Amino acid sequence: MAEVIQSKLVWAVYLLHLLLLISIHGSTSDSISSEGFCAVNSGSDCGLPSPYTKILIKGGTVVNAHHKEVADVYIEDGVILSVRPNIRVPDENIRVIDATGKYVMPGGIDPHTHLDMEFMGTATIDDFFTGHAAALAGGTTMHIDFVIPINGNLTAGFEAYKHKASKAAMDYGFHMAITKWDEDVSKDMGVMVRDHGINSFKFFMAYKGTLMVNDDLLLEGLKKCKSLGALPMVHAENGDAVVEGQNRMIDLGITGPEGHALSRPPVLEAEATARAIRLAAFINTPLYVVHVMSTDAMEEIAKAKKAGQRVVGEPVVSGLVLDDSWLWHPDFTTASKYVMSPPIRELGHGQALRAALSTGTLQLVGTDHCTFNSTQKAFGLDDFRKIPNGVNGLEERMHVLWDAMVETGKINVMDYVRITSTECARIFNIYPKKGAILEGSDADVIILNPNASFEVSATSHHSRSDTNVYEGRTGKGKVEVTVSRGRVVWENDVLNVMPGSGKYIKMPPFSYLFDGIDKSNAAYLSSLRAPVKRSSAAS
Ligand SMILES: *[C@@H]1O[C@H](CO)[C@@H](O)[C@H](O)[C@H]1NC(C)=O
Ligand SMILES: *[C@@H]1O[C@H](CO)[C@@H](O)[C@H](O)[C@H]1NC(C)=O
Ligand SMILES: *[C@@H]1O[C@H](CO)[C@@H](O)[C@H](O)[C@H]1NC(C)=O
Ligand SMILES: [Zn+2]
């Protein structure tokens, strides 16, 4: 497979040169903005010239989040033009794909990844090309990555990520982390929302000394997010207590990967989750909790939702299907690949998270794809605190979830579409352009054969890592075809991807989560029964 990508790469680099030549000679496309990014509504000529074909997907079961039917899907120039039974089109230059007995679904959208991110003295091994290749081979056609500011500077961080993403092979959007607070940061948040299509900001309550924010900053951030209609996101762990827990393990002489799990138990995740939820309630803003890993944190979210608060909980695949016994594995390479934060928990947490996902308490699934290879993981050979945190999942998410949730009867195919694609598109305000198979939606489509099976292995995956946390996992359901923006990019186990063909998707503020916030603000103000008019000071 690597060879296939490589030959495509050579071809793509050639095309890229050609395109550069063309644009240098004056025929630049209007739809390429001054930033070099394509806007959300730009035409099909944005990006590389690609051999767009007209595609007719015949006879499959077309699945949307609220409906499924046997129908044909007709695609032209990267957009879905028609969805209905028995579409008839003149058969010149049309690629017909038979999907009889298979599911035709919106491509997956992964809300949580870290491609080409500098972290813990190294950088994640998958960049915006290898990460996208992996994603597309696994049926994911869009993701939202986290821009990390440079020394707190949002603009500098955005510029850097724009550059990293210039080799994108599928559509992507950005969240942005907030790591310090001053007037410039506050002002730049507005610029990011208004000019750059960012509608969510992440606050790390852990990673003391690098990314961590205190309550003071979190409160400022929540207020600012609310005023911009941008969704605040939190990595919820008590970072001060994590340091205490780490010191405790080192003092006890526990320096291996198991020390990672022992140093940051579920109570620290639950505490920070509860704190963030309560502060968001105090500010009256929606909140998104990334990588919910424990029953304890999930129950805080369930409680808040039951009380009517707008809290979105995002489990990740590793937390749903793995358990922490791997961290006790005698082989360091094996054990260390499972190190991520918050940690993968004891057996039982995953089951509770899957149950919460099946009932809607948790709403959508990410991966936190943040991959380091075994050489990088070995930085922490003598000290678990130095093991770069992160696991893979971008390529495996769709398959593992299908197997764990649909094959086991926990959810139906429509719920599957909702948790892997539609809900993400709604929360980040790009529905129904993304997350649906409807007339006018982007042609990001997968065909899944429920009778075929998948198998995960580091020897066949498309990530650049030499390890895989789902090594050896097999299951039913296989993505046989991936269509990205109207191009067949994955078929017969062969990838056909081009660096530079992915587009930046701008995401507007004020998603449905903000509907009615103004009314509840007004209700709050009118409930204060203050100020009280008092007679002048007592004599
Ligand atoms: C999968 O199996 C089911 C049940 O046996 C059958 O109805 C369906 O047509 C099969 N689909 C494919 C693509 O083989
Ligand atoms: C942030 O970075 C941008 C781009 O590199 C630069 O123009 C700007 O001056 C920086 N802002 C601050 C406050 O340093
Ligand atoms: C891991 O990645 C680094 C940096 O790209 C590379 O030097 C190293 O050889 C890789 N290790 C393995 C086992 O692939
Ligand atoms: Zn993350």
CA of 375 to the centre of ligand 3 (A): 6
Q: Which ligand is nearest to the CA of 103?
A: 1
Tokens of 20: 């550069």
The answer to whether residue 245 is domain-embedded is yes
Closest ligand 1 atom to residue 450 Cα is 1
Does residue 253 have a pLDDT over 60?
yes
147-202 confidence digits (pLDDT tens): 999 999 999 999 999 999 999 999 999 999 999 999 999 999 999 999 999 999 99
CA of 438 to the centre of ligand 1 (A): 25
- The C-alpha atoms of residue 349 and residue 538 are separated, in whole angstroms, by 61
pLDDT of residue 52: 55
Q: Is 118's C-beta closer than 6 angstroms to any atom of ligand 2?
A: no
Contacts of 444 (CB under 8 A, 6+ apart): 106, 107, 141, 142, 171, 434, 483, 484, 485
The answer to whether residue 516 is domain-embedded is no
- Is residue 26 very low, low, confident or very high in pLDDT (cuts 50, 70, 90)? very low
Count of domains for the chain: 1
Residue of 332, 373, 392 to test ligand 3 pocket, by largest number of atoms within 8 Å of CB: 373
Closest ligand 2 atom to residue 154 Cα is 1
Q: Which ligand is nearest to the CA of 376?
A: 3
- Is residue 17 very low, low, confident or very high in pLDDT (cuts 50, 70, 90)? very low
The answer to whether residue 375 is domain-embedded is yes
Contacts of 17 (CB under 8 A, 6+ apart): none
**Mean pLDDT estimate for the chain:** 91
Q: Which ligand is nearest to the CA of 465?
A: 3
**Closest residue by CA, ligand 2 atom 4:** 156
CA of 88 to the centre of ligand 4 (A): 45
490-503 confidence digits (pLDDT tens): 999 999 999 999 99
Closest ligand 3 atom to residue 465 Cα is 14
CA of 193 to the centre of ligand 2 (A): 17
CA of 159 to the centre of ligand 4 (A): 20
387-420 confidence digits (pLDDT tens): 999 999 999 999 999 999 999 999 999 999 999 9
DSSP-assigned letter for residue 169: S
The answer to whether residue 92 is domain-embedded is no
pLDDT of residue 539: 55
Distance of CA 329 to the CA centre of its chain: 29
What type of residue sits at position 103? Y
Count Cβ atoms below 10 Å from residue 447 Cβ, excluding itself.
24
- The C-alpha atoms of residue 34 and residue 59 are separated, in whole angstroms, by 42
- Is residue 2 very low, low, confident or very high in pLDDT (cuts 50, 70, 90)? very low
What type of residue sits at position 283? I
CA of 479 to the centre of ligand 1 (A): 15
- The C-alpha atoms of residue 369 and residue 148 are separated, in whole angstroms, by 15
**Closest residue by CA, ligand 1 atom 10:** 101
Contacts of 226 (CB under 8 A, 6+ apart): 232, 283, 284, 285, 517
Closest ligand 3 atom to residue 122 Cα is 4
- The C-alpha atoms of residue 93 and residue 48 are separated, in whole angstroms, by 20
512, 506, 113: which is closest to 286 by C-alpha?
Answer: 512
- The C-alpha atoms of residue 475 and residue 455 are separated, in whole angstroms, by 7
- The C-alpha atoms of residue 392 and residue 463 are separated, in whole angstroms, by 8
pLDDT of residue 5: 44
CA dist list (Å): 139 to 133, 169, 282, 522? 10, 13, 40, 44
pLDDT of residue 208: 96
**Closest residue by CA, ligand 1 atom 11:** 101
CA of 478 to the centre of ligand 4 (A): 26
CATH code at position 402: 3.20.20.140
CA angle 395, 398, 400 (to 5 degrees): 90
Q: Is 449's C-beta closer than 6 angstroms to any atom of ligand 1?
A: yes
CA of 272 to the centre of ligand 1 (A): 47
418, 477, 480: which is closest to 64 by C-alpha?
Answer: 418
What type of residue sits at position 257? P
- Is residue 35 very low, low, confident or very high in pLDDT (cuts 50, 70, 90)? very low
Tokens of 320: 């749903």
Give the least confident one: 4-18, 386-400, 404-418, 476-490.
Answer: 4-18
DSSP-assigned letter for residue 153: B
CA of 113 to the centre of ligand 4 (A): 6
**Closest residue by CA, ligand 3 atom 4:** 125
Q: Which domain holds residue 223?
A: 110-439
- Is residue 536 very low, low, confident or very high in pLDDT (cuts 50, 70, 90)? confident
CB 344 within 8 A of CB 338: yes
Does residue 433 have a pLDDT over 50?
yes
Does residue 314 have a pLDDT over 60?
yes
Q: Is 186's C-beta closer than 6 angstroms to any atom of ligand 3?
A: no
Residue of 98, 407, 451 to test ligand 1 pocket, by largest number of atoms within 8 Å of CB: 451
Residue of 35, 147, 153 to test ligand 2 pocket, by largest number of atoms within 8 Å of CB: 153
- The C-alpha atoms of residue 459 and residue 360 are separated, in whole angstroms, by 35
3-state secondary structure of 524: helix
Closest ligand 3 atom to residue 375 Cα is 11
49-87 confidence digits (pLDDT tens): 345 589 999 999 999 999 999 999 999 999 999 999 999
Tokens of 358: 């099946």
150, 142, 141, 143: which is closest to 117 by C-alpha?
Answer: 150
Q: Which ligand is nearest to the CA of 477?
A: 1
pLDDT over 70 for what percent of the chain?
90
Does residue 218 have a pLDDT over 70?
yes
**Closest residue by CA, ligand 2 atom 14:** 153
Cis peptide before 342 (omega within 30 of 0): yes
pLDDT over 90 for what percent of the chain?
88
pLDDT of residue 357: 98
- Is residue 15 very low, low, confident or very high in pLDDT (cuts 50, 70, 90)? very low
Q: Which ligand is nearest to the CA of 122?
A: 3
CA of 196 to the centre of ligand 2 (A): 16
The answer to whether residue 279 is domain-embedded is yes
Q: What is the DSSP string of 456-506?
A: --TTT-SSS-S--TTTT-EEEEEEEEEEETTEEEEETTEE---TT---B--
Q: Is 155's C-beta closer than 6 angstroms to any atom of ligand 2?
A: yes
The model's pTM is 0.91
The answer to whether residue 380 is domain-embedded is yes
The answer to whether residue 25 is domain-embedded is no
218, 161, 224: which is closest to 187 by C-alpha?
Answer: 224
pLDDT of residue 49: 39
Q: Is 348's C-beta closer than 6 angstroms to any atom of ligand 1?
A: no
pLDDT of residue 181: 97
Q: Is 255's C-beta closer than 6 angstroms to any atom of ligand 2?
A: no
Q: Which ligand is nearest to the CA of 182?
A: 2
Does residue 34 have a pLDDT over 60?
no
Residue of 35, 151, 154, 155 to test ligand 2 pocket, by largest number of atoms within 8 Å of CB: 155
Does residue 43 have a pLDDT over 50?
no
- The C-alpha atoms of residue 177 and residue 232 are separated, in whole angstroms, by 10
The answer to whether residue 97 is domain-embedded is no
Alpha helices in 25-153 (DSSP H): 130-137
CA of 450 to the centre of ligand 1 (A): 7
CB 353 within 8 A of CB 302: no
